[in-house]
Amino acid sequence: MSDNIFKAFFFDVDETLIDAHDCHIRANEIAYRHFGYDFYKVWEKSNNRYMFGLTLRDILRINNQNAGITEKEIPLEELYQVRLNAFVREVKKKAVLLPGANEALKQCKDSGAKVILVSSGARKFILALIKKFGWSRYIDSFICEDDVKKGKPDPECYLMAYSKLEGIPKKDVLVIEDSEAGVNAAQAGGFKVLLVPYHGREIRDIFAEYRLGSLEKFNINSL
- Tens digits of residue pLDDT in 131-165: 999 999 999 999 999 999 998 999 999 999 999 99
Percent of the chain predicted with pLDDT > 70 = 93
Sketch the domain layout of the chain as residue ranges: 8-18+97-222, 21-94
Q: Give the pLDDT score at 212.
A: 94
> What are the CB-based long-range contacts (under 8 Å, 24+) for 184-190?
184/152, 184/153, 185/53, 185/152, 185/153, 185/154, 185/155, 185/157, 185/158, 186/10, 186/155, 186/158, 188/153, 188/154, 188/155, 189/155, 189/158, 189/159, 189/162, 190/155
Residue whose C-alpha is closest to residue 206's, from 174, 188, 184: 184
Dist CA 113 CA 98 (whole Å): 22
Cα radius of gyration (the chain): 18
Average pLDDT, the chain: 92
pLDDT above 80 (res 189): yes
**What is this structure's pTM?**
0.90
**Residues ≥6 apart with Cβ < 8 Å to 84:** 27, 56, 122, 124, 125
| Beta strand extents in the chain (DSSP E only) | 8-11, 18-19, 96-97, 114-118, 141-143, 173-177, 192-195, 210-211
**Residues ≥6 apart with Cβ < 8 Å to 126:** 13, 117, 119, 142, 144
Average pLDDT over residues 43-69: 80
pLDDT digits (tens, 9 = 90+) for 160-174: 999 999 999 999 999
CATH for 8-18+97-222 is 3.40.50.1000
pLDDT digits (tens, 9 = 90+) for 191-201: 999 999 987 67
pLDDT digits (tens, 9 = 90+) for 78-116: 999 999 999 999 999 999 999 999 999 999 999 999 999
pLDDT band at 73 (very low <50, low <70, confident <90, very high): very high
pLDDT band at 2 (very low <50, low <70, confident <90, very high): very low
pLDDT above 60 (res 48): no
Residue 167 gets the label, from left (phi > 0), alpha (psi -120 to 50) or beta, of: left
